[in-house]
Amino acid sequence: MKRSILLVEDDVLMREFITDYFKKEQWDVYEAENGREALEIFEQAMIDLIVLDIMMPEMDGWSVCRRIRQKSDVPIIIITARTEDDDQIMGFELGADEYVTKPFSPKVLVARAVALMKRTEGTIGRENDILTYGHITVDRRAHSVMVSETLINLSPKEYELLLVFMKHDGQVLSRDYLLNAVWGFDYFGDLRTVDTHVKKLRAKLGSEGRFIRTVIRSGYKFEMES
């Protein structure tokens, strides 16, 4: 399953350099050159992780971090050329999850991002490899799905689609987001691909398919019935 990152960095060369490394590891990368642009992108796209520079024009990283933390617990890695302890303390107090000082290795940054996502998603530790929702049980180690103790056969894309829904429980997900999250930005198909796979996934989940709800003119939402 692809992850998405919002990279907020005003240095063009640095931004391109970091972007290349994340793309090599199959991340979808959204780029912003200042804080205001970052907030606009964050409002429009489903972001799994943010890499945020502190010293930027228009709106600094502290302000961006503070604004995002008012509405989201998305993982945030702060990058900065400043090494003072007070700055690191400030970042953690504002809700940052990691703090990386320049210069740094992009490979190390990607590794930290992957480790942070594993902690956030609960994929470290065997006991967290089993996801349950209603009568749906997903074993991420075996890539298997059971409904009411009956093993069901999902295609790889149907399986990834189910994981995206379970990860974003209660959130409205647009067809564009689902297409990018499961098939990637390089996929040339249209949005009917999403509808077709959602229909097949619902059918295979049987009675538990009711958790996947259609939101008119918006997309889909995965949630329990109220």
- pLDDT tens digits, one per residue of 21-50: 999 888 989 999 998 999 989 888 878 899
**Res 128 pLDDT > 60:** no
Q: Are residues 86 and 26 in the same domain?
A: yes
- Lowest mean pLDDT across 3-12, 78-87, 195-204: 78-87
What pLDDT does 127 receive? 40
Do 106 and 17 contact (CB within 8 A), yes or no?
yes
> What predicted TM-score, i.e. pTM, was given to this entire model?
0.55
**Res 123 pLDDT > 50:** no
For 134, half-sphere exposure in the C-beta direction (CA atoms, 13 angstrom radius) is: 19
Q: Are residues 110 and 131 in the same domain?
A: no
Residue 2 CB partners (closer than 8 Å, separation 6+): 26, 27, 28, 180, 181, 182, 184
Q: Considering 60, 90, 121, which residue would you say is the last residue of a domain?
A: 121
User: The domain that contains 67 carries what CATH number?
Assistant: 3.40.50.2300
Distance CA 19, CA 118 (A): 20
**Res 75 pLDDT > 50:** yes
Q: Are residues 51 and 11 in the same domain?
A: yes
Range of the domain at 79: 4-121
> 63 is written with which tokens?
């302000």
Distance CA 82, CA 141 (A): 40
What pLDDT does 211 receive? 93
Q: Are residues 112 and 155 in the same domain?
A: no
Residue 38 CB partners (closer than 8 Å, separation 6+): 6, 8, 32, 50, 52, 59, 64
**Res 156 pLDDT > 80:** yes
Q: Considering 121, 146, 170, which residue would you say is the last residue of a domain?
A: 121
**Res 87 pLDDT > 60:** no
What pLDDT does 124 receive? 40
Q: Are residues 213 and 167 in the same domain?
A: yes
Q: Are residues 12 and 96 in the same domain?
A: yes
Burial of 51 (0-12, 13-18, 19+ CB in 10 A): buried
Q: Are residues 93 and 202 in the same domain?
A: no
Q: Are residues 103 and 131 in the same domain?
A: no
User: The domain that contains 130 carries what CATH number?
Assistant: 1.10.10.10
Q: Are residues 8 and 55 in the same domain?
A: yes
Q: Considering 96, 121, 146, which residue would you say is the last residue of a domain?
A: 121
User: What percentage of the chain reaches a pLDDT higher than 70?
Assistant: 87
Q: Are residues 212 and 108 in the same domain?
A: no
Q: Are residues 195 and 213 in the same domain?
A: yes
Q: Are residues 8 and 115 in the same domain?
A: yes
How long is the chain? 226
Please count the structural domains in the chain: 2
When pLDDT is averaged across residues 48-70 and rounded to a whole number, the result is 85
Do 50 and 6 contact (CB within 8 A), yes or no?
yes
When pLDDT is averaged across residues 106-134 and rounded to a whole number, the result is 72
